[in-house]
Amino acid sequence: MSAPASPDYPAGSETPALLAPMLVALLLLIAFIALAGQLTRGFEFWTFESLRRDDAAAGRLRAPPALLASPQGRMPTPWPGRHGEIFLVDFIYTRCPTVCSALGAEYTRMQAALRQRFGAQSPVRLVSIAFDAEHDTPAALQAYAAQHRQDARLWLIASPVDSAQRHRLLRALGVVAVPDGFGGFVHNGAIHLIDADGTLRGIFDLDEWPQALERAIALTADLAA
């Protein structure tokens, strides 16, 4: 008994059925490549932090004015400060046992270098901004300051006076502070070079504090010229 004859399809009749999904896939691929190129600025920067540092290098990030409350002062401190001052800023939470503690140690070194060079009238000011509103109390800030031998004339350790200012400041500078699920935060452990107008001039890794300090001092000379 012979097998049933196969249906007689015209040659090439499968092509239109395959062409449509292939064309859609190609258009989606082109759109994805175009979007990736836009988001990575020409496929050059592939992480949020690298994009943030590119923005800093180009002067595209600026800290909004904020009121910072420190345990030493009765009145909140307006920040950024006076014309001509340069700030080296980090973002911390006082319960952090790792990065923030290391940053505190480096700030102690920078404080000693500034005191030796300028005395108490340094044009470069150190600023540590605490962002954990629930736990960064005045007592916690005072303990952090004592641990790292803060000289309040050179180094401001403070927190924004309210959540709106805190969120606005972190967002404007692209600073990430995300709860880690263990009571702490994943956050940017970097030193931010900011001028008196609030413009972010550069971002330095923790071990680059000598370069950050050198650049800050050079910037004060440029502004004074």
DSSP codes, 42-97 = TTT--SHHHHHHHHHHTT--BPPPEEEE-SS-SSPEEES-STT-EEEEEEE-TT-S
Which pLDDT band, with edges at 50, 70 and 90, does 92 fall under? very high
* pLDDT reported for residue 26: 61
Q: Give the mean pLDDT of 184-211.
A: 93
Q: What is the pLDDT of residues 116-152, one digit of tens each?
A: 999 999 999 999 999 999 999 999 999 999 999 999 9
State residue 194's pLDDT score: 96
Residue 47: predicted pLDDT: 78
Collapse the DSSP code of 145 into the 3-class scheme (helix H, G, I; strand E, B; otherwise coil) and give the result.
helix
Nearest alpha-carbon partner for 159 in 183, 132, 179: 132
pLDDT above 50 (res 30): yes
Token pair of 8 as six digits: 């007689």
DSSP state of 65: P
Domain residue spans of the chain: 62-224
Query: For 47-61, how does the pLDDT look when each residue is reduced to its tens digit (9 = 90+)?
Result: 788 898 999 888 899
Residue 195's pLDDT is what? 94
Which residue carries 């107008």 as its tokens? 197
Question: Do residues 128 and 172 lie in contact, with contact meaning Cβ atoms separated by under 8 Å?
Answer: no
For residue 64, what are its two tokens?
């909004």
Q: How confident is the model at residue 44 (pLDDT cuts 50, 70, 90)?
A: low
CATH classification number, 62-224, choose in 3.40.50.1820, 3.40.30.10, 3.40.50.2300, 2.10.109.10: 3.40.30.10
pLDDT value, residue 167: 95
* Closest to 195 (Cα-Cα) out of 85, 118, 89: 85
- CA dist., res. 81 & res. 84, Å (int): 9
Distance CA 195, CA 60 (A): 13
Q: To which H or E segment does residue 36 belong?
A: helix 14-39
188: confidence class by pLDDT, cuts 50, 70, 90 = confident
Supply the pLDDT for residue 36: 43
